Amino acid sequence: MGKSLYKDKGGYAVKINIYYGGRGMMDDPTLFVINKIQGVFQELNVNVERYNLYELKNSITTLPQTLKDVDGIILATTVEWYGIGGYMQQFLDACWLYGDKEKIAKIYMSPIVMATTYGEREAKLNLRVAWEILGGLPCTGICGYISDTALLEMNDDYIRLIERKAENMYRTINQRVTCFPASNQAVKQKVAVSKNFDLTPQETEQLSHYVSDDDYVQRQKEDLQELASMFRGMMGGKDSSDDTLFIRKLEQNFKPQAGFKGRYKINIEGSRKPLVILVDGGNLQCVYQDIDKADVEIQMKEDTMNTIIAGHMTFQRAFMGGEMTMKGDFRILRTLDQIFIFNQ
C-alpha cells in the first residue's frame, strides 16, 4: 500500500470523521476494526478525527456541526443484542433535526458494523438507508460476526481485508465516485419531509446547543408550565389539580381485590401535580401530589382520562392504542381495570 497511489485532489488532505456508537468495551471487535482503519488513513495522510458517542452522550445533539468540513465519515457501531444502538440512533436523529442537509448531500458515509450476536447485515443496511434518507452518499462498508475479538486480532487475512476496505473507502471519498440516485430519496421528498421551520444553518446550530443544555430545557419547561397556569387563570379556568372529578369517579367505582397492593402515579397533561392512587386491599387513597416511587407511572391527556372514567375505554386499551404511555410493572397496570370498573 503506497501513498503515491492516492493523490489528494486539489492538493488538500482528505478529512474523514469516525463516529463510534458502541459502549467502548475493551473486547469490542468494532474498536479493533476502526483502529486498523484509522491507521491506514493516517498512512494515506488523511486528516482523521474520531468521536466516541458514549463519551459525548450529553452533547450528541451538537455533533452535526462537526460535519461541516468533512469529505466523508464512518458510522461504526456494534450489535450486542439488537440494532445499531441508542447512541448511534441519537446521532442520526440529531443529523435529521439539526444537520445541514446541503452539506450532508456531499458527504460519503461508510458503515462499519461488527456483531457479537445476530444482525450485523441488517444494522449495516439501516445505517446506509438512514444516510441516504438524510441525503448523503453511501460507500462500501464492513460488517461481520465476531464472537471473540482475539480471533480477529490473530487472523492476518481479516486484517488484510480491513486494510483493503479502508483503501477502497479512501479511494471512493477522494475521487468523489459517482453514486446512482436512491429510490428512498424520492420517497423522502414525498412522504418523509421534516417540518420546515425556515431556520438558517446558524439558527439550527444554535438550537442544537440549546437542546443539549439540560438546564436550559428545564427552564423552558418551567416557563411553559407557568404560562399555561397564567392563561388558565385569565380565562377563568380551574386548575386540574383542584378538580375532584377524577378522584370522585375513582372512589365511586373502586372494586377492592383481596391482598392487592399498588401505587399508581398518573401524569395528566395540564395538571400541575400528578394524580396518585394508593391501593392496599380494601383501602383506597387518591390525591394530587408528587411521589418519588410508584409501581406504575402513567402519562396521558385529560381527554383520555375522561374517556376512561366514562367507561368508553379501559386503561389497558388506552396503553395498547398509544393513547397513554407507562413505565413500571405491566401486571399491576392490568389490575387497574379490575379494581376500577367504569360503566357507561
pLDDT tens-digit map of 262-271: 999 999 988 8
Instruction: Check residue 21 and give its pLDDT.
Output: 96
Q: Burial level of 129, CB count in 10 A (0-12/13-18/19+)?
A: middle
Domains (range + CATH), the chain: 3-191 (3.40.50.360), 241-339 (3.30.1050.10)
Mean pLDDT of the chain: 84
The C-alpha atoms of residue 219 and residue 213 are separated, in whole angstroms, by: 10
pLDDT at 343 over 90: no
CA dihedral 155, 156, 161, 163 (to 10 degrees): 120
Q: Within its chain, how far is the Cα of 37 from the centroid?
A: 27
Which tens digit of pLDDT belongs to each residue from 33-80? 999 999 999 999 999 999 999 999 888 999 999 998 999 999 999 999
Helix axes 86-98, 201-212, angle to 10 degrees: 140
- Work out the pLDDT band at 185, boundaries 50, 70, 90: low
Angle, CA of 59, 65 and 66, to the nearest 5°? 90
How confident is the model at residue 181, as a pLDDT? 78
The least confident of 96-110, 125-139, 174-188, 235-249 is: 235-249
CA 296 to chain centroid, in Å, comes to 23
The stretch 238-249 carries a mean pLDDT of 67
